[in-house]
Amino acid sequence: MAILSNESLVDPLDQALAEREKLIELCMYAFDRTRSTGITERLTEGMSTVGVTALRPDGERFDPTRHEAGGTIATGDHSLDGVIAETEVVGFADRGRMLRAPVVVVYRLNTEKSGAESMSSGESTAS
């Protein structure tokens, strides 16, 4: 006589996909908190082997559908206006599906007539 269980059947593929998602979240968490270059490189390499790409769009045009603006840097170079100067927080994509958009700093054309360089929001001038 067979004994039936009240436990629902779990599809092994669904379970593996859910566990993969949790492991990717854990790797992103560890990536954000480590200060070791070696560890961030190892995490980046390891995640890439399973299709997860670290997104560092430095030098690309800012696209608000793919990037989150974290700040701006003034520039006098018209060709740099709207270009990403640096990545503040690395983003991640899983086989092209965005997991987290990168937070970036974008060059913004300095339109002030004076030769003085504009300052970021956190700086002030001393008189």
Which 3 state secondary structure label does DSSP give 63? coil
* pLDDT the model gives residue 123: 41
pTM, two decimals, is 0.78
How far is Cα 118 from Cα 110, in angstroms, rounded to an integer? 7
Strands (E), the chain: 52-55, 68-75, 84-89, 91-94, 97-100, 103-109
Instruction: State the burial class of residue 47 (Cβ atoms within 10 Å of its Cβ: 0-12, 13-18, 19+).
Output: buried
Stretch among 17-21, 35-39, 47-51, 115-119 having the lowest mean pLDDT: 115-119
Token digits of residue 31: 């990536």
Mean pLDDT of 57-75: 98
